Amino acid sequence: MFDLPLLTILLLTGFINLVGALAYAARIAGVRTRRIAMSFALFNILVLFSRTSNSFLGPFLAKRIETRIHDGSGLSLFLDMQFVLAAASVATLVGILLVPTGQRMFTAAIGWYQDNRSTTRLALKAVSPTGLHTLRQSLTFPSLSHLRSWKMPKGIGWGVLIANCLAQSLLAVGVVASLYAGYLAPEFRVTASQLSALINGFATILLFAFIDPQLSVMTDDAVEGKVDDADFRRAITFISLSRLAGTILAQALLLPAAMLIAWFAVHV
């Protein structure tokens, strides 16, 4: 049976995680063009669409749980949540594979914007035949030749990768687990839904206090020529893969996290 609400949730989840994975393409484009601020300014346009999608995702998930509670069909709800996390993993993988294409597109957009300086015209150009032609020319598969037998790049250690994996898993599972906890403890489901902020807050601290500064310093070093292009791309590859591993780990964390949140909602 065709399930349009679930398909909508999966598409929104996929788009949000796809944009997140393409953030690395913006970094590479910024290093290549030596215009870091411009690359992130253009990437933030995509982030606006991603955050708009995220604002719809929460209510759609909440509505699905409310419906399952009322019609007594909650046994399949855990599988629905797993599908949501699987969509995040698939979209992240697609985003990683599209990083070289995204980097070329961002590079082209930065060059065009420098000459024209109009966001509206840039958006119109992106959907024009010329923009679609640029997209076709930019399509390329990622190359693993720069990994050099998977040697860890200078400036990025296992601690950063593990922290990024954990942070991404918590971000992926936070809202989903808190909403599923509302099904496990329906009388406290509003409280449970609010507890996602604690999980996401801890993950955000990990990202902005420990991971992003490391990657930002390496980005600056790459712009200044202190880190060569191969090392920088290898670091991006490792960070991207740790992000993917985090979305996969979220599958294993879903039930324990939901049960823990449900317990807190009832007893705290």
Cα–Cα distance list, 115 to 33, 41, 222, 251, 266 (Å): 14, 16, 25, 46, 58
> How far is 263 from 188, CA to CA, in rounded Å?
10
Could you read off the pLDDT tens digit of each residue along the chain, which spans 268 residues?
A: 568 888 999 999 999 899 888 888 888 888 888 888 888 887 887 777 777 777 788 888 888 888 877 776 667 888 889 999 999 999 999 999 998 898 888 888 888 888 887 888 888 888 788 888 888 888 887 776 655 556 676 767 888 899 999 999 998 998 899 989 988 888 888 898 888 888 888 888 888 888 888 888 888 888 888 888 878 888 888 899 999 999 999 999 999 999 999 999 998 7
Q: Are 30 and 36 in contact (CB under 8 A)?
A: yes
CA distance 31 to 10: 33
Helices and strands (H, E) in the chain, number of each type:
11, 0
pTM for the structure as a whole: 0.88
